[in-house]
Structure 1
Amino acid sequence: MNTIKSVMSKALSHAKIIPHRSATRGHSDHGWLNTYHSFSFADWFNPNFTHFGSLRVLNEDRVGPNSGFPTHPHRDFEIFSYIISGELTHRDSMLKKGDEGAQSDKFYRMHRGDVQFTTGGTGIAHSEQNEHNKDTAHFLQIWAIPWKRGLTPRYHTLHFDDEKKRLGFVPILSPLKGGPDATHQQEQAAEPTIDGTIPIHADFVMSAGIIAPQKKFEWVVGANATENPKRKVYIHLAMTKGGKARIRLNGREETYNEGDGAFIDDVRAGDKLSVESVGEAEAEVVLLDTA
């Protein structure tokens, strides 16, 4: 047991942590959309920020009232929206406005704590609009590269309570049971490796936590749910508290402000990463664990 602990602590001390400061993100303000890009996206390209493992896009978006993304296509990406505040309405392109009915895969009005997930696969089209008259929608839009192309398009939406996020990191996405060779039945069943999460077609786990000042959360790399023991973890501190939130990683001196991210490399499944809140306000942290 002591040998195992020694090996883990040695691996962790050699973890490579590289900051990705908010100011180094791409930024565009279109009036209706104020967006920050952690990775190259749309008209902004930076060769240093193209992807990290299977993580391809992390945009922090604010969409003004009565505006949004009109019907547009997606293909061969796993795409998910993490709602921070306001509301965002998803409409499948096959559904006419006025025929929505109750919340469903074809129509979903998302609020704080909701996560909506899309498998683009062979092709899908939908719109994401802020239909509220006065409130801005603030959310993270994240894309992952799937383990294979040509998947069947699909939507999933789940809600994750803030109360649980204040107790520790809450897993939100985990790999589909069956992996890249999942059968048709496994695809239809859409069971995630971690109960209560949304299944993703990638060796990828997403979690989120809300950390009170002077509190510390731990994350077990791989979450006992991934195939490849060699991992990369990207951590993002959402812009939720007007700059009053701040975090420290693994007890190292460097601190991270709202909008900052960190690339954590040279870690393995089973390693423990600590995230400590050292600001004046609680820190909303999103953690993306990828092969």
Structure 2
Amino acid sequence: MSKALAHAKIVPRWSNERGHADHGWLNTYHTFSFASYYDPRFQNFGSLRVLNEDRVSGDNGFPTHPHRDAEIFSYILSGELTHRDSMIKRGSEAKQGDDFYRMKRGDVQFTTGGTGIAHSEQNESDEPVHFLQIWALPWGKGLTPRYHTKTFDEYLKRAAFLPILSPLKAGPGASPAEEKAAEPTLKDTIPIHADLIMAAGIIGVDKRFKWTVGADAVRQTQDRHVYIHVPMTKNGSAKIRIDGREDAVLGEGDGAFISNVNAGDVLSVESVGEAEAEVVVLDSD
């Protein structure tokens, strides 16, 4: 199969070369420099700043800690993760919306750190939780802290790449009223204060999904930065091929930096392993 996007530069980020730490209660892999892992080559990619793949054992988690001036989101792969801040009490009824806190597979929890927030993330079940924690650099500092949580349908992820986050429609100059309305550029997504789109798909064996760079939702249309990640969900049986390239075949835990692409370019992602492949796309300025 020939390259559909000959101008695109695709550089794999192999799983075994990521930062890694096993603390017993937390087994974590870092695509970018984070905490005690530092590599000057991997600081950010466009506005994408952090991509951690974490497993937290039962009855463990991250105690209350602060964040500011970062867009932070968790994508739950399996198990449960409980988010709590000063407004959410233990035992409160879980519900969809800004106050929803007990997350399961299919849920995405989003935080605008802005001027400063503090929260905890705990696994209050007996089973491990497996999730991606992702940070993006916002288009401005001093934003008003905000939470969003939304569930995304597995069936839709099996049909095509499903957009999950898209830029706040009002953009960097949003008024307080527009911030409160929190309307995303793409319907049924979570709004983010960055020129970034996140999407996820579950690609059946020998099936192919296509991702249109920018998804008709971004301000910067030239020189986009697309990162594709394959979470470790199928015990090593999942594998994908990007743009038909044999040097861009990724296994579980692997990712790829894709540059020299513009809005409207179409990236092909084919499942070539023995099990369906869950794939996350992070398309930023």
Report the TM-score when normalising by structure 1: 0.94
Match of 1:4 in 2: none
Which of 17, 37, 42 aligns to 1:24? It is: 17
Partner amino acid, structure 2, of 1:274: S
- Tell me, in whole angstroms, the C-alpha distance in 2 between the residues paired with 1:122 and 1:175: 19
For residues 252-277 of structure 1, the C-alpha deviation after alignment (integer angstroms, 9 at most, x for no partner) is: 11211100000000000000001000
Task: Tell me the SS of whatever aligns to 1:126.
Answer: strand
Map 1:40-79 onto structure 2 (within 5 A).
40-79=33-72
Partner amino acid, structure 2, of 1:170: L
Task: Tell me the SS of whatever aligns to 1:148.
Answer: coil
Which of 253, 258, 280 aligns to 1:259? It is: 253
Task: Tell me the SS of whatever aligns to 2:16.
Answer: helix
Question: Identical aligned pairs, as a percentage?
Answer: 68
List alignment gaps of at least 5 residues for structure 1. 1-8
Structure number with higher helix proportion: 1
Give yes or no for contact 1:103–1:109 (8 Å, CA) kept in 2.
no
Runs of 4 or more consecutive aligned structure 1 residues displaced over 4 Å after TM superposition: 98-104
- Tell me, in whole angstroms, the C-alpha distance in 1 between the residues paired with 2:282 and 2:217: 13
Is 1:82 paired with 2:82?
no
Match of 2:188 in 1: 196
Give yes or no for contact 2:228–2:281 (8 Å, CA) kept in 1.
yes
Match of 1:6 in 2: none
Distance 1:73-1:13 versus aligned 2 partners, 3 A rule:
same
Is 1:240 paired with 2:245?
no
Match of 1:216 in 2: 208
- Tell me, in whole angstroms, the C-alpha distance in 2 between the residues paired with 1:247 and 1:49: 23
Segment of structure 1 superposing worse, 102-111 or 118-127: 102-111
Is 1:249 paired with 2:242?
yes
- Tell me, in whole angstroms, the C-alpha distance in 2 between the residues paired with 1:101 and 1:115: 14
Displacement of 1:104? 5.4
Which of 277, 283, 287 aligns to 2:277? It is: 283
- Tell me, in whole angstroms, the C-alpha distance in 2 between the residues paired with 1:149 and 1:38: 24
Task: Tell me the SS of whatever aligns to 1:289.
Answer: strand
- Tell me, in whole angstroms, the C-alpha distance in 2 between the residues paired with 1:259 and 1:53: 20
Corresponding pairs, count:
282
Segment of structure 1 superposing worse, 175-184 or 233-242: 175-184
Give yes or no for contact 1:218–1:272 (8 Å, CA) kept in 2.
yes
- Tell me, in whole angstroms, the C-alpha distance in 1 between the residues paired with 2:17 and 2:152: 30
For residues 140-186 of structure 1, the C-alpha deviation after alignment (integer angstroms, 9 at most, x for no partner) is: 00000000000000000000011110000000000001111111111
Is 1:185 paired with 2:191?
no
Is 1:149 paired with 2:141?
yes
Distance 1:107-1:160 versus aligned 2 partners, 3 A rule:
closer
List alignment gaps of at least 5 residues for structure 2. none
Distance 1:98-1:256 versus aligned 2 partners, 3 A rule:
closer
Partner amino acid, structure 1, of 2:150: L
Task: Tell me the SS of whatever aligns to 1:17.
Answer: strand
Partner amino acid, structure 1, of 2:78: S
Displacement of 1:12? 2.3
Segment of structure 1 superposing worse, 135-144 or 97-106: 97-106
Partner amino acid, structure 2, of 1:211: I
For residues 19-78 of structure 1, the C-alpha deviation after alignment (integer angstroms, 9 at most, x for no partner) is: 000011000001110000000000000111110000000000000000000111110000
Is 1:124 paired with 2:114?
no
- Tell me, in whole angstroms, the C-alpha distance in 2 between the residues paired with 1:195 and 1:104: 16
Task: Tell me the SS of whatever aligns to 1:173.
Answer: strand
Give yes or no for contact 1:11–1:267 (8 Å, CA) kept in 2.
no
Give yes or no for contact 2:221–2:262 (8 Å, CA) kept in 1.
yes
Partner amino acid, structure 2, of 1:144: A
Task: Tell me the SS of whatever aligns to 1:179.
Answer: coil
- Tell me, in whole angstroms, the C-alpha distance in 1 between the residues paired with 2:153 and 2:100: 21
